[in-house]
Amino acid sequence: MTTTIIGFPRIGEKRELKFATEKYFKQKISQDELAQTAHELRQKNWQLLKAAGIDEIPSNDFSYYDQVLDAAFLFDLVPEEVKRLNLSTLDKYFALARGYQKDGVNVLAWPMKKWFNTNYHYLVPQLTADSHFKLTGTKIFDEFNEAKEEGIVTRPVLIGPFTLLKLSEYHDTAATNFINEAVAAYLAVFKRLAAAGAKWIQLDEPSLVKDLSATDKQLFNRLYEPLLAQKGKLKVLLQTYFGDVRDIYDRLTELPFDGLGLDFVEGKKTKDLVAAGFPDDKVLFAGVVNGKNIWRNNYQKTIDQSSVLPVNNLVLTTSCSLLHVPITVTNENFPDEVKKHFAFATEKLTELTELAAILTGQGAQKLAANKQLFAAPRVKEDPEPHKQIASLTAADYHRQPARVEREKIQKAEFNLPLLPTTTIGSFPQTKEVRNERRQLRRHEISQEEYDEFIKGKIDEWLKWQEQIGLDVLVHGEFERNDMVEYFGQHLSGYLFTKNAWVQSYGTRCVKPPIIWGDVKRLHPITVKWSKYAQSQTKKLIKGMLTGPVTILNWSFPREDISLKESTLQLALAIQGEVLDLEANGIKIIQIDEAALREKLPLRKSDWYSEYLDWAIPAFRLVHSKVKPETQIHTHMCYSEFSDIIPAIDAMDADVISFEASRSNLEILDALKAQHFETEVGPGVYDIHSPRIPSVSEVKNTIRKILSKINVAKVWINPDCGLKTRGVKETRASLINVVTAAKEIRREIEGNDDK
């Protein structure tokens, strides 16, 4: 029995790749220097895997930015305008990743999307009638040779053709037009790898774990039948992850793949599929170590799970690439008692080799030690939240009276103008703001000094909001580092890491906190600043909270209690905060659920039963006890929710704002068609770009919104928080938004007079 992994994090233990790449973007280091850093990181990873005793080591899991973009460059699927740029290959690559503006040339970056059910984001290839698959890149060969020079014959990793075609977007063409070219191009890769001395190639096909239609299966067959028929002596591992392959398992076992990689962690049906039969002529790459979470593997559980595994032709691997976990726990200062429960990427390597030993009868000691780790509860239970959850009744999940009734009460209470204007919460987190927080952290300034600074910021921005005539004001979130961490710091049960970074996209990394134990609110969290802001203005202040589903989805969750249970604990904590805000005179409270969609199951058939059926009630629990006249807002960050509109309405918020500026019409149509009841603020401009929208542009957007949605239900706001924007563009943009809203308001009210 041997061991391998699907892929290793490439960013570096100290985020070396991020820093080098960003320096390169700023022209502070040369391309050679960047290449040197990348080379050292790859070398380090290969040596690390080798030293850990991993038998089969992957290559080409490295990427300067994204593995899907790598595949697009390997196969020359690059827009002509990018090819034409007078730049090095690497700079063209970065141009497509990040956009490029210079000397009148303007190249748009490819759009980014969530990578399946992770918080990683990939670039979405845009294929046109002019796109052609052609093997022109060399990265996969270069990295294979680089490792070979180190004496390691690796298994190169590449996105498979099915997933590549499924993830791409098509303009005046279709996936089927690329089948022949794709087959030829992949075969050319096989040939060159075999000639270079490779034994295996790993083709990643995570798209196979989704619901597959007959057309999908046909596409798969049309790609893989010719590919496998002509593959030559190179062995092909078909690697899947993030779920099970129930729709196509039979076909996968029939086709002449040399290896099948299956996910035993997230794949609920994987065990049953394999139990029903696995062919003798294939190697099973069994993903038994969780590639997504940070907890130690429970060996006994894994062994029980493994009863179905074939004895021969077995490779133990991770459930998915380790890209989604931080690199090592050794860089954290937790006490040993805590640390011993964690396995980040490096520690998971040891788990694989130990499991292999145990499964071949040589690891009794390791097994015993692991059993001990799981013998006693990891963390002492806090009875309070458990008791509270046990005593919840249906009424706790339903706010009274019904939304239509509340709407009347709130309209009378607030007397807001038609098309009320507001923002999503945060104002620019300038260097000054971050610097002040750093000084507080380092005890260079006192808490009092810091608080004075925050007060000053709130005062400044309140005054400005009043001046430009916004209707519902915010305090600006200057006191917050991050919308999840800030809350986590005021809850029991949370742990924070120092270096546990995970790549989110490109050079961006996140450091999710860890839910270690039962969660409870320790004290009021946001009341002080919201109350202060309300005391400084006659206008309405909107309190600003992060919702339970988002807090959960952007943390590493527990495995010893269910996600639902954890989310309900978080919901009760935030409920306490909502009620405290209300008691302190805050009449409008926004509960952000930016990441609601994050854990939506990959199979549509599981959406409600496995997720929305508890996630949506958890949100309702947060606000079910407020007075009818308290207005609850929520905010979501993505435009992709046309398919879960009833679920969003069922959150029973009074108002929702969302990102819509890039695909306005589509969502508006869906909202209309599905009789969406919640009042809505579809973002009227895109805050992800520094561009300032003109008044007439915003007016046009508002008109578009009004053509689909009853004016009495519409709010006017940007499409997300403004913390990443500069002060100048923020102010100019918001002035235009308010002006546009006022002009349209006048037009409408003028019409009413006639």
Window 419-458: residues binding ligand GLN (CB under 6 A): 424-426
**In whole angstroms, how close is the CB of 472 to ligand GLN at the nearest point?**
13
**In whole angstroms, how close is the CB of 571 to Zn ion at the nearest point?**
20
Buried residues in 190-211 as b, exposed as e (16+ CB within 10 A): bebbbeeebebbbbbbbbbbbe
Draw the binding track, 392-421, toward ligand GLN (x: CB under 6 A; -: no contact).
------------------------------
Cα 528 to Cα 550: distance, rounded to the nearest angstrom = 23
Question: Is 688 tagged catalytic?
Answer: yes
What are the C-alpha distances in Å from 554 to residues 30, 141, 153, 550, 700?
35, 36, 37, 6, 35
Residue 222 vs 599, nearer CB to ligand GLN:
599
**In whole angstroms, how close is the CB of 448 to ligand GLN at the nearest point?**
26
Select from Zn ion, ligand GLN, none the partner in contact with residue 426, using the beta carbon and a kind-dependent cut-off of 5 to 8 Å: ligand GLN
**The 283-289 sheet, strands edge to edge:** 2-3, 314-318, 283-289, 259-263, 235-239, 200-204, 155-159, 58-59
- The answer to whether the beta carbons of residues 267 and 252 sit under 8 Å apart is no
**In whole angstroms, how close is the CB of 290 to ligand GLN at the nearest point?**
27
Cα 186 to Cα 156: distance, rounded to the nearest angstrom = 13
Window 695-734: residues binding Zn ion (CB under 5 A): 720
531 binds ligand GLN per the rule CB under 6 A:
no
Beta bridge partners of 342: 295
Residue 45 vs 590, nearer CB to ligand GLN:
590
**In whole angstroms, how close is the CB of 702 to ligand GLN at the nearest point?**
21
Residue 68 vs 424, nearer CB to Zn ion:
424
Work out whether the CA dihedral 488, 490, 493, 496 comes out positive or negative: positive
Cα 74 to Cα 145: distance, rounded to the nearest angstrom = 16
**In whole angstroms, how close is the CB of 359 to ligand GLN at the nearest point?**
44
Number of residues that bind Zn ion (CB under 5 A): 3
* Burial class for 39, CB neighbours closer than 10 Å (0-12, 13-18, 19+): middle
Select from ligand GLN, Zn ion, none the partner in contact with residue 10, using the beta carbon and a kind-dependent cut-off of 5 to 8 Å: none
**In whole angstroms, how close is the CB of 423 to ligand GLN at the nearest point?**
7
Window 364-393: residues binding Zn ion (CB under 5 A): none
**In whole angstroms, how close is the CB of 518 to ligand GLN at the nearest point?**
26
- 200-204 and 169-171: which strand pairing? unpaired
Cα 598 to Cα 555: distance, rounded to the nearest angstrom = 11
Number of residues that bind ligand GLN (CB under 6 A): 13
Backbone angles phi, psi at 515, to 5 degrees: -85, 110
Cα 373 to Cα 146: distance, rounded to the nearest angstrom = 40
Residue 682 vs 721, nearer CB to ligand GLN:
721
**In whole angstroms, how close is the CB of 274 to ligand GLN at the nearest point?**
40
Window 570-629: residues binding Zn ion (CB under 5 A): 594
Side-chain half-sphere CA neighbours of 4 within 13 A: 28
635 binds ligand GLN per the rule CB under 6 A:
yes
By Cβ distance, which residue is nearest to ligand GLN? 721
Select from ligand GLN, Zn ion, none the partner in contact with residue 458, using the beta carbon and a kind-dependent cut-off of 5 to 8 Å: none
Q: Which residue is listed with tokens 């860089």?
A: 331
Residue 519 vs 636, nearer CB to Zn ion:
636
Select from Zn ion, ligand GLN, none the partner in contact with residue 363, using the beta carbon and a kind-dependent cut-off of 5 to 8 Å: none
Residue 163 vs 717, nearer CB to ligand GLN:
717
Work out whether the CA dihedral 564, 565, 568, 573 comes out positive or negative: negative
Cα 138 to Cα 145: distance, rounded to the nearest angstrom = 11
Q: H helices within 66-197, ranges in order?
A: 67-74, 80-83, 89-98, 139-149, 161-167, 179-196
284 binds ligand GLN per the rule CB under 6 A:
no
What are the C-alpha distances in Å from 448 to residues 212, 281, 437, 444, 681?
59, 70, 12, 12, 37
Cα 199 to Cα 510: distance, rounded to the nearest angstrom = 36
- The answer to whether the beta carbons of residues 543 and 526 sit under 8 Å apart is yes
Which H or E run includes 177? Answer: none
- Exactly one of 17, 356, 483, 632 binds ligand GLN (CB under 6 A); that residue is 483
Residue 198 vs 433, nearer CB to ligand GLN:
433
Residue partners of 256: CB distance under 8 A and separation at least 6 = 228, 229, 231
**In whole angstroms, how close is the CB of 599 to ligand GLN at the nearest point?**
16
Beta bridge partners of 158: 203
Window 593-622: residues binding ligand GLN (CB under 6 A): 594
Residue 359 vs 545, nearer CB to Zn ion:
545
**In whole angstroms, how close is the CB of 422 to ligand GLN at the nearest point?**
11
Select from Zn ion, ligand GLN, none the partner in contact with residue 623, using the beta carbon and a kind-dependent cut-off of 5 to 8 Å: none
Backbone angles phi, psi at 593, to 5 degrees: -125, 55
Residue 252 vs 483, nearer CB to ligand GLN:
483
Window 153-212: residues binding ligand GLN (CB under 6 A): none
Draw the binding track, 710-749, toward ligand GLN (x: CB under 6 A; -: no contact).
----------xx-x--------------------------
Active-site residue (options: 39, 386, 490, 688):
688
AA identity, residue 256: P
Cα 190 to Cα 186: distance, rounded to the nearest angstrom = 6
Cα 265 to Cα 288: distance, rounded to the nearest angstrom = 6
Residue 374 vs 486, nearer CB to Zn ion:
486
Beta bridge partners of 514: 495, 556
**In whole angstroms, how close is the CB of 721 to Zn ion at the nearest point?**
6
Draw the binding track, 633-652, toward Zn ion (x: CB under 5 A; -: no contact).
----x---------------
Residue 483 vs 702, nearer CB to Zn ion:
483
Q: What are the DSSP calls for 407-447, one per residue? A: HHHHHHHH-PPSS-B---SB----HHHHHHHHHHHTTSS-H
Instruction: Give the DSSP letter of residue 654.
Output: S
Residue 273 vs 637, nearer CB to Zn ion:
637
Tokens of 641: 């929710």
Draw the binding track, 541-580, toward ligand GLN (x: CB under 6 A; -: no contact).
---x------------------------------------
> Which residues contact Zn ion (rule: CB under 5 A)?
594, 637, 720
**Catalytic residue positions, numbered:** 688
> Which residues contact ligand GLN (rule: CB under 6 A)?
424-426, 477, 483, 544, 592, 594, 635, 637, 720-721, 723
